[in-house]
Structure 1
């Protein structure tokens, strides 16, 4: 009797252990999209690899493509989130734009990294989705500090950053939940003043949107603070966390 119970218990434990990876794989999928029709960032390959690694940490499978034909209603329905990794210019045609809009309206998630804000200027809905469009940036890489915030007040210590620091056409704060700001007093060429959002999120048109303006420099993808930012964005965009 004891041997039978032991065998049954061992088989149950073996089944549980063997099923765990399958359950992790079933958390969902994301699509990383990095097509460019303008400037192409050298950091795109490492950005893609980094998001793929962060996705695996969360039990997500990550597909990568630069083929806009992926943007159909049926195909996008397979994904918990779509990540625009430094896309630039006009990357989707009218039908693909319509599929993306429907995907968000069906509850999908969007995550934009760096030049995702330098994308689709002739598509007003996309500008609302990303939160603000790129306007300019100072020459070269410069150093500043990123101040995380929560519900409009500083939250946690500021951290040092060296990157291409974007200015935006307007301040998105009235439309989004700002997650971090830049300190313009520490570098030259900022145009947004004392309130310079650099990362934000918002519920939008039935879905979720999260964006960071950082991510130009390859070296930044080894920075623990930036990785924490990306990880949180991925969890929110993919619906693993309700808040961002």
Structure 2
């Protein structure tokens, strides 16, 4: 009898868990392996699952674009984890546009910032905000916090030694991009690239993470995150979650102070 009562109590406790486990918002991570980014997800998935537990949000993970064939409105943010826009086809593109126009948030990570041929999907190009140009070989460099008031920088030092694939970009495609992090090209060799290719760097202003409001939604983009080992780094995960939190909620950014009138 005692065993029966104990079993009933355990069952009741189990059934009661979902009421308390419901997260503060829901996130979809789309991680599609590709030629140059296929082994990162083995490390990234458990880290995102721990992130969801730590920060009390619900997480759906997809290895393909199937979620874009359904209603996306339940998600506060969609993370395109090394998943570029040209992975979406036809009505899937319409679904993402509808989602953003409804106030949804998007986080574009690394490879997601490289879209297809110019003009293939202009809306997505503007969502990312800048067009990828080229990148040199992976190197260690110094990252500088440009916007210390944005959540994706809260856990980072003002100057950060980081090893990654330093994407170069063309001029902004939209107005209103706010740079979060930049890389100091004096701390690495922007021309160190494979035979037959040429990279020249971007100069003194070389953004590697930014955010903006776009078409009714919120977009955070970070070029960091090329190698799998980076997903084991607590600072990188804090960087990702800060941007994700803002994309999902719009919170964490202090409003600009009103201009003071002259005496």
TM-score (norm 2): 0.76
Looking at structure 1, the residues matched to 130 and 68 of structure 2 have their Cα atoms a distance apart, in angstroms, of: 22
**1:242: how far off?**
4.9
**Would the aligned equivalents of 2:85 and 2:112 in 1 still touch at CA under 8 Å?**
no
5 Å-filtered alignment, 1:150-189, equals: 150=147, 157-171=158-172, 174-189=175-190
Which of 194, 206, 210 does residue 216 from structure 2 map onto? 206
5 Å-filtered alignment, 1:1-244, equals: 22-36=19-33, 39-72=36-69, 74=71, 76-88=72-84, 90-121=86-117, 122-139=120-137, 141-150=138-147, 157-171=158-172, 174-189=175-190, 191-239=201-249, 241-243=251-253
**Count of residues in Structure 1 that have an aligned counterpart in Structure 2:** 226
Q: Deviations over 1:9-30 (max 9, x none)?
A: xxxxxxxxx9797345241211
Local SS of the residue matching 1:107: coil
**1:226: how far off?**
1.5
Looking at structure 2, the residues matched to 160 and 62 of structure 1 have their Cα atoms a distance apart, in angstroms, of: 30
**Would the aligned equivalents of 1:173 and 1:197 in 2 still touch at CA under 8 Å?**
no
Looking at structure 1, the residues matched to 185 and 172 of structure 2 have their Cα atoms a distance apart, in angstroms, of: 14
**Would the aligned equivalents of 1:29 and 1:61 in 2 still touch at CA under 8 Å?**
yes
Q: Deviations over 1:48-103 (max 9, x none)?
A: 332332222221111111332211452x1121111000114621112000010000
**1:173: how far off?**
8.8
TM-score (norm 1): 0.82
**Would the aligned equivalents of 2:142 and 2:159 in 1 still touch at CA under 8 Å?**
yes
**Would the aligned equivalents of 1:36 and 1:88 in 2 still touch at CA under 8 Å?**
no
Local SS of the residue matching 1:230: helix
Looking at structure 2, the residues matched to 175 and 240 of structure 1 have their Cα atoms a distance apart, in angstroms, of: 16
- Residue segments in structure 2 that go unaligned for 5+ positions in a row: 1-14, 191-199, 255-263
- Residue segments in structure 1 that go unaligned for 5+ positions in a row: 1-17
Question: What do you get for the CA RMSD once the two structures are aligned?
Answer: 2.9
**1:157: how far off?**
1.7
**Would the aligned equivalents of 1:171 and 1:196 in 2 still touch at CA under 8 Å?**
no
